[in-house]
Amino acid sequence: MIEASYAILVLMLTAFLVLEGWDFGAGLLHFVVGRNERDRGVVIAAIGPLWIWHEVWLVAFGGMTFVFFPAVMASAFAGYYLALFLLLWCLILRGVAIEARGHMRDALWREAWDFAFATSNLLLSVLIGVALGNVIRGEPLDADGNFTLSFFTDFGVHGEVGILDWYTISIGIFTVALFAAHGASYLAWRTEGTVHDRSERLARCLWPAVLTLLLGTAVETARVRQELFTGMIHRPLAWLALACVAGGGLAALVGQWRRRESAAVAGSCVLISGLMAAGAVGVFPVMLHSTLAAGDSVTAYRGAADARGLRLALSWWPVAFVLAVSYFVFVFRYYRGKVRADTDAQGY
């Protein structure tokens, strides 16, 4: 039951990262692929009508964390207090920028919000990468499952760690590259004209870089959390996840070169899902890893809600998820095809 809850949580987070990864990636490349106001309008049209739908997956992930693992949520959210608010503020700024931009036809107005939009997406990508790096590296948990983190300490990965250290920063950089490639593939798939051409060129350069960086981060991770890899050996699911990483990476790389745009996008989604799944399977059942004493780590078994609550949530979740998938199909069909700035901008 706890395993199923854990899997659902990983699924929700993965859905958020895959969907919102398009927005983050397209957003941080905003000025790179959109050299003039018209082209930037195309970028906005490709994600403008979708960002709320994508962001809701974060809300749903937060809600499911609360219902399945309230004690984990309480420890982690309080411990990462300032970092989380930074993330929330960037999300607010990003949403406001998309909404505000389209409402006035004024070059300076649009340039200002374009800048806010690109900056907040870049920051969000870094923050999410650093956050994932933190989860892998662990937190200085005490015996009660509490911790506080400074922004940085000595940039080391053991003992009294901070949010930023050499490892989490490198994961942040990797995430920026990954979202950029993911977003570039998405833009190449959804747009036409100059934005399409620039995104395609960019995606072709970015995917080899991402896959190289991925090897580097894997080596780093083996140093920081060895048990992530030793845990994988006896878990067939992890092998499946790693196959997804390899297959997805290959599909993204080759698809982009052969102009199979939807194959590249699908590969990119599979790659991100595979990475999330591999990491999640490798560290299970530890949810919050203590850098001070391994015995103080909070496992899924220790942090879960009571059995009746879990059973209940597991009984209504499939219903809600089927509904969510049907909305997903609706949204996907409704917004399918290439966007054109003049008719699809929808006021953005």
Partner 1 sequence: MNDPAFWDRLQFAFTITYHYLFPQLTMGLAPLLVYWKWRALRTGDEGYARAARFWARIFGLTFAVGVVTGIPMEFQFGTNWAGFSRYSGNLIGQTLAMEGMFAFFMESALVGALVWGERRLGARAHFGAAVGVALGSWLSGYFILVTNAFMQHPTGFAVAADGRLHLASMAGYLGNPWAFAMFAHNQMAALVTGGFAVSAVGAWYALRGEHSGQARLFLRSGITVGLLASVLVAFPTGDIQAKMVAAHQGPALAAMEGRFHSGNKAEINLIGQPDVRGQRLDNPIRIPGLLSFLAFGNVQSDVRGLDAFPADTWPTNIEILYYSFHIMAGLGTIFVVLMGAGAVQLLRGHLEQSRVLLWLLLSAFPFPFIANTAGWTVAELGRQPWLVYGLFRTEQGVSAVVNSGAVVFTLVGFVGLYFVVGLLYFSLFCRELSRGPVEAPHD
**Which residues form the interface with partner 1 (CB under 8 A)?**
49-50, 52-53, 55-56, 58-60, 62-64, 66-68, 70-71, 73-82, 84-85, 88-89, 91-93, 95-96, 99-100, 103-104, 146-148, 305-306, 308-309, 312-313, 316-317, 320-321, 323-324, 327-328, 330-331, 334, 343, 346-347
Tokens 């692929």 sit at which residue?
33
Give the helix ranges, DSSP H, for the chain.
2-28, 30-33, 37-47, 51-68, 70-79, 81-101, 107-137, 166-190, 193-224, 226-233, 236-257, 261-283, 300-303, 307-334, 341-344
Cβ proximity to partner 1: between 78 and 222 the closer is 78
Cβ proximity to partner 1: between 79 and 183 the closer is 79
Shortest CB 163 distance to partner 1, Å = 13
> Which amino acid, 161?
V
CA dist 300 to 18, 203, 294, Å? 24, 38, 14
CB 152 within 8 Å of CB 174: no
Shortest CB 156 distance to partner 1, Å = 22
**Alpha-carbon span 326 to 305, nearest angstrom:** 29
Shortest CB 140 distance to partner 1, Å = 11
Shortest CB 151 distance to partner 1, Å = 12
Cβ proximity to partner 1: between 92 and 222 the closer is 92
User: How is residue 143 annotated by DSSP?
Assistant: T
Burial degree of 169 (CB within 10 A; 0-12, 13-18, 19+):
middle
Cβ proximity to partner 1: between 145 and 249 the closer is 145
Cβ proximity to partner 1: between 67 and 245 the closer is 67
Shortest CB 116 distance to partner 1, Å = 10
